[in-house]
Amino acid sequence: MLASKHRWFLLAGALPLAALISWASRGPGSTPVGAGSPSREEPPPAAKKAAPPLPEVSTLYEQETSAYHARLFADDDGVVLVTDAGFTTFAVGKAPTRHAVSLGPVAARQGGALIFWRSGTLRTVSLSDGYESELASLPAAPQYLLASEGQIAWIQALEQGGTSLRALSGGAVRVVHESEESVSAAVLHASVVYWVAVHRDRSWSIGRVGLDGQHTATGAQHGRPPAMLALGPDGVYFYAGPARGVRRLSFDLEQETSVLAQVICSPLVVSSRVVCAHVGGLFHIPPSSSVPRFLAVERAGPVAAVAATSQRAYWVAEAGKERLILRTIALPEL
């Protein structure tokens, strides 16, 4: 059963089987015990070093709602858990603060506020006091809602097919770019949108669309399109299936490189390193490394959302029907 549940690590070719079994048998926050540890009467040879302990896992919160509708936004001050029915802030050194707000299926963070859509309007709500205000009239819900410092954009699926990228400028809605393709993932970096465009022949490409209207795209690829994009300090990251694994695309779309092949990494997030979720737990990929490193075991259920800073990782798991659990760990030093 263990071999079936964690067979992806064998694909990675990075860890011996004994270490895999030892890792899989431990729960969150436990101290590792080597599968072949010598007895106390026989100290280990000097050449062998004990594996570093896994980070201690802390459970921050549980809520009676589905983890699959949850989103996480993290910074050095803490993390914000967002669901359809509201948001909860977890500031460092403070008790959680929950705000009941009908946020709907899409939301984005912009500094100290959330941007969301409800009942035909694009709205904002303060993370500190829950105060709401209207930004613009928007008859249909966006497919993706995106925000960066000073910019708000969204992707609208068109009734006749295709996609429209729109932005908010001075309180008015502006059409930036329209495409015949559908979109399966999108992120906003400063004033540039990156999206996964799915073509009519089911091939896909990654497009780069500036909010000034300039656009370009990679060549078409075949296979299942990426379901998400993650922004890193040096490009856009995506998971391209078990064989190709995690890949990085430069911001100008000129160079695509492999970060780590032969692994499953979904969902993923990038901070000071790539943090990946998989059935059974989390691992990370340090910069300039081809070796995945374990972070935590998650036995409650599938991991639905991940967020990270340079110091901590956060994740939401489905802990039962319509019940989520939020956990965190301190990331090991690089």
pLDDT at 35: 33
Average pLDDT, the chain: 86
How does pLDDT run across 98-123, given as a tens digit for each residue? 999 999 889 999 999 999 999 999 99
pLDDT at 320: 87
Pick from 39, 43, 35, 37: which is nearest to 18 by CA?
A: 35
First to last CA, the chain: 32
How does pLDDT run across 58-99, given as a tens digit for each residue? 999 999 999 998 999 999 999 999 999 999 999 988 899 999
Pick from 135, 177, 304: which is nearest to 228 by CA?
A: 304
pLDDT at 105: 84
Q: For residue 38, is pLDDT > 60?
A: no
pLDDT at 29: 39
Instruction: Provide mean pLDDT across the span 12-16.
Output: 37
290: confidence class by pLDDT, cuts 50, 70, 90 = confident
How does pLDDT run across 237-273, given as a tens digit for each residue? 999 999 999 999 999 999 999 999 999 999 999 999 9
The DSSP result for 210-243, as a single string, is ETTS-EEEPPPB-SSPPS-EEEETTEEEEE-HHH
Instruction: Write out the H or E segment, with its range, that includes residue 4.
Output: helix 2-5
Q: How many CB atoms lie within 10 A of CB 237?
A: 23
Could you tell me if 320 and 301 are in contact, meaning their C-beta atoms sit under 8 angstroms apart? yes
pLDDT at 4: 37
Pick from 46, 43, 81: which is nearest to 65 by CA?
A: 81
Can you list the alpha helix ranges (DSSP code H) found in 7-80? 7-12, 17-24
pLDDT at 104: 86
pLDDT at 49: 56
Domain spans of the chain?
1-33+51-94+266-334, 106-225
How does pLDDT run across 184-199, given as a tens digit for each residue? 999 999 999 999 999 9
Q: Structure pTM?
A: 0.84
289: confidence class by pLDDT, cuts 50, 70, 90 = confident
| Order of all β-strands in the sheet with 281-285 | 268-270, 274-278, 281-285, 293-297
14: confidence class by pLDDT, cuts 50, 70, 90 = very low
Pick from 226, 302, 292, 281: which is nearest to 29 by CA?
A: 281
pLDDT at 50: 61
Q: For residue 40, is pLDDT > 70?
A: no
Instruction: Provide mean pLDDT across the span 5-31.
Output: 36
Long-range contacts (CB closer than 8 Å, 24 or more residues apart) made by 134-138? 135/168, 135/171, 136/168, 136/171, 136/172, 136/173, 137/173, 138/173
Domain 106-225 = CATH 2.120.10.30: yes
Q: How many CB atoms lie within 10 A of CB 133?
A: 10
42: confidence class by pLDDT, cuts 50, 70, 90 = very low
Instruction: Provide mean pLDDT across the span 25-38.
Output: 35
The DSSP result for 63-112, as a single string, is ESS-GGG-EEEEETTEEEEEETTEEEEEETTS--EEEE----S-EEEETT
